């Protein structure tokens, strides 16, 4: 690789932390769609702009084209289930059991029949959670205990049980026994960096957050519709009554680790964090093949070629 005689050129439409970082490194901004060394782009940009481009060796961009295999809830579940089934078929019982880190999940409307069958096997009062597949930040999520409650919703939303249409919701057994700290529910936000899917190369960041609900946790019936109690997303919490951004709704991961060590000791704490690391890696392994598949690019290029010939 030729040694650089000019500063690195970056392309980004963001004007926040990432822009500050690039500036602080002395890199120069470019608005060119093609002529850049480093691009930090929105995840949709890559699919719109990447198809016809050939990138030079040195160019680096912050998304993989197939990221939705991991980030769309329906795709993620399909990939996890497929991997678990494949391991079971090969008789790798222990390895398959290591994928037991997501609760029972079905795609709706396609798997509605399967879900209803399974629903009957759970004790009454079991709590279920419905999540739209494409949205984030807790939008459109609700909890229920009776099938009747989604029948009503089905009618209201004009949902057709047409197996051919894409999954619009996932329904999942709700985890009813979350660890609570000070009576509050929380989740962990961790940062994982993948620099290659072939071979899979994964880094995990030592820091992160525990993000707390502002409200005391309980699962009484009256409370199920109160998403502020059940969802820890910052976007949800921010809109809640009496939300106070300064009231410790977020802990650095370090505080959470110290809390665990104090309560359970070093060994149990370390075991738990190793399980978390393994969960992160196993999730990525389940999408590895679809991430490196270039078949869709071939098809997309052919479509572009045909379209240009017709024109």
Footprint (CB under 8 A) of other proteins, residues 159-178: 175, 177-178
Identity of the residue, 245 or 305, whose beta carbon is nearer to other proteins in the bound complex? 245
- Residues between 65 and 94 that touch other proteins (CB under 8 A): 65-68, 70-71, 73, 76
| Minimum distance of other proteins from residue 249's CB (angstroms) | 11
Write the interaction track for other proteins spanning residues 278-307; mark x where CB under 8 A is met and - where it is not: -xxx-xx-------x-x--x----------
Among 199, 241, 242, 262, interactor with other proteins by CB under 8 A: 199
**Of the listed pieces 88-96, 114-122, 213-221, 247-255, which binds other proteins according to CB under 8 A?**
247-255
Site for other proteins in 125-144 (CB under 8 A): 136
Is residue 109 within 8 A of residue 162, CB to CB? The reply is yes
d(CA 127, CA 120): 13
CA dist 241 → 136, 154, 210, 223, 250 (Å): 21, 29, 21, 15, 17
Cis bond before residue 63 (omega within 30° of 0): no
Query: In the range 22-61, which residues lie near other proteins by CB under 8 A?
Result: 24-25, 37-38, 42-43, 50, 53-55, 57-61
In sequence order, the β-bridge partners of residue 237 are none
Q: Which of 11, 78, 184, 257 binds other proteins (CB under 8 A)?
A: 257
Query: How many Cα atoms within 13 Å fall on the side-chain side of residue 86?
Result: 8
CA 73 to chain centre: 7
86/276 with CB nearer other proteins: 276
Q: How far is the CB of 200 from other proteins (least distance, A)?
A: 6
* CB of 139 or CB of 146, closer to other proteins: 139
Strands 60-61 and 38-40: parallel
Q: Which is nearer to other proteins, 18 or 116 (CB)?
A: 18
Residue 60 or residue 146: which is nearer to other proteins going by CB?
60
- Do strands 105-108 and 169-173 pair parallel, antiparallel, or not at all (unpaired)? antiparallel
CA distance 76 to 280: 13
**Cβ distance to other proteins smaller for residue 122 or 160:** 122
CA 271 to chain centre: 23
Among 147, 239, 266, 304, binds other proteins (CB under 8 A): 266
Burial (0-12, 13-18, 19+ Cβ within 10 Å), 9: middle
Q: CB-wise, 11 or 257, nearer to other proteins?
A: 257
């Amino acid at each position: 690789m030729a040694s650089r005689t000019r500063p690195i050129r970056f392309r980004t439409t963001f004007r926040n932390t990432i822009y500050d970082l690039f500036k602080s490194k002395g890199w120069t901004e470019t608005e060119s769609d093609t002529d850049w060394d480093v691009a930090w782009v929105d995840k949709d940009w890559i699919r719109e702009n990447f198809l016809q481009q050939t990138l030079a060796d040195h160019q680096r961009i912050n998304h993989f084209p197939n990221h939705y295999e991991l980030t769309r809830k329906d795709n993620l579940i399909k990939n996890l289930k497929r991997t678990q089934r494949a391991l079971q078929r090969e008789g790798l019982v222990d390895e398959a059991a290591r994928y037991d880190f997501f609760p029972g999940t079905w795609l709706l409307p396609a798997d509605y029949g399967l879900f209803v069958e399974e629903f009957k096997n759970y004790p009454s009062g079991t709590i279920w959670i419905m999540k739209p597949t494409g949205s984030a930040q807790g939008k459109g999520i609700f909890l229920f205990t009776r099938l009747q409650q989604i029948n009503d919703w089905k009618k209201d939303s004009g949902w057709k049980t047409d197996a051919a249409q894409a999954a619009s919701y996932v329904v999942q057994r709700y985890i009813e026994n979350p660890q609570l700290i000070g009576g509050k529910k929380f989740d962990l936000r961790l940062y994982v960096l993948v620099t290659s899917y072939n071979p899979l190369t994964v880094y995990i960041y030592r820091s992160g957050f525990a993000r707390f609900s502002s409200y005391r946790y309980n699962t009484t019936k009256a409370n199920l519709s109160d998403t502020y109690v059940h969802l820890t997303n910052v976007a949800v919490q921010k809109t809640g009554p009496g939300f106070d951004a300064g009231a410790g709704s977020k802990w650095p991961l370090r505080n959470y680790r110290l809390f665990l060590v104090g309560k359970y000791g070093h060994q149990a704490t370390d075991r738990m964090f190793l399980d978390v690391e393994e969960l992160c890696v196993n999730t990525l392994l389940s999408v590895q093949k679809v991430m490196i598949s270039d078949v869709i690019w071939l098809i997309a290029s052919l479509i572009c070629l045909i379209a240009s010939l017709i024109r």
